[in-house]
Structure 1
Amino acid sequence: MLTSTVCAAVSAGGLGIALLTAYRKRFLAAARIAAYSLIPIGLVMTGIIDWVTGLVFKPTVWAGFGVLALSALLFMVTRAAERRGGGGRKERRTAAAEGREVAAPGASAPSLGPARPAQRSKTKSKQDSSGDDFSDIEAILKKHGI
């Protein structure tokens, strides 16, 4: 009942401020203030305020939030431990005993083709004999018109 009275007082105060704002010929701002000030009394009339106060002031509800927080914390801790390598030890042991790999056989092979040093050796052989290392940079600058 106290919350209903407080919400009604807040709405009445807001409507008073809206009237003062309208008196100063700021009608758009007055309409916006009136809209905001009608929200608390509307919440009281729909019963949402009673539901929220019942939710906030019950210890069992807070205990439920605590249990949910503990559950979320346990999920995060187990995922972090699994990522650090703590999870899946049995799977790796059985795979090692059977002689097979846990990951795909070609998982560590590069997927971009030949290695970089082989490509560089080709470009070095194409360079002139004076050893000008700036030819690549010059080509890029010429490409962009600089």
Structure 2
Amino acid sequence: MIAETVCSAVSAAGLGIAVITAYRKRYLAAVRVAAYALVPIGLVMTGVVEWLADTAFSPTAWAGFGVLGLAWVLFITTRAVERRRGGTRKERRAAARAAERPGAVAPAASTPGLAQGSRPAAAPRPAPASRGDDDFSDIEAILKKHGI
């Protein structure tokens, strides 16, 4: 009941502002203000305000929003895990079946010279350069270029 009264007052005030704006010969702005002013009363007439008021003060409705939030978090978590594993279960099964078929090229054996299921040897890591020389060599080159 209070929400309907507030919405009606807001609409009346908005229509008053629209009339004042139209009196000042700003008709386009007046029509726009009138359109905005009619929204609250339209929401009251359709019953949306009553539904929102009932929902805002209903513990069951808030519990429902909590359940929806939990469902959303679970969905997002499963999508993140799915991406991390490299696809859906269906995609992984299809890849495993393709690897089991004779004559099929398995994803691990696509590199020439590797046996099926073996991993390539790790590439040797280059020796780390000394930090002092490597860090300032670029700076020294820039300073020499500018004659400093």
Normalising to structure 2: TM-score of the pair? Answer: 0.57
Instruction: Measure, in 2, the Cα distance between the counterparts of 1:20 and 1:105.
Output: 78
Aligned residue in 2 for 1:54 = 54
Instruction: Measure, in 1, the Cα distance between the counterparts of 2:83 and 2:28.
Output: 56
Aligned partner letter, 2:24: R
Deviations for 1:36-69, whole angstroms, at most 9, x for unmatched residues?
A: 1111112112222101211222111111111111
Deviations for 1:56-95, whole angstroms, at most 9, x for unmatched residues?
A: 221111111111111221222233233333996xx88xx6
Aligned residue in 2 for 1:18 = 18
Instruction: Measure, in 1, the Cα distance between the counterparts of 2:78 and 2:36.
Output: 45
Aligned partner letter, 2:85: G
Deviations for 1:14-43, whole angstroms, at most 9, x for unmatched residues?
A: 011111111111111111111111111121
Aligned residue in 1 for 2:7 = 7
Return the offset for 1:107: 4.1
Matched residue SS, 1:5: helix
2:72 counterpart of 1:41 = no
Aligned residue in 2 for 1:28 = 28
2:115 counterpart of 1:84 = no
Return the offset for 1:106: 5.2
User: Tell me, which stretches of 5 or more residues in structure 1 are unaligned?
Assistant: 111-146
Coordinate RMSD, CA, aligned: 2.9
Instruction: Measure, in 2, the Cα distance between the counterparts of 1:19 and 1:100.
Output: 78
Instruction: Measure, in 1, the Cα distance between the counterparts of 2:45 and 2:82.
Output: 50
Normalising to structure 1: TM-score of the pair? Answer: 0.57
Report percent identity of matched pairs: 58
Aligned residue in 2 for 1:67 = 67
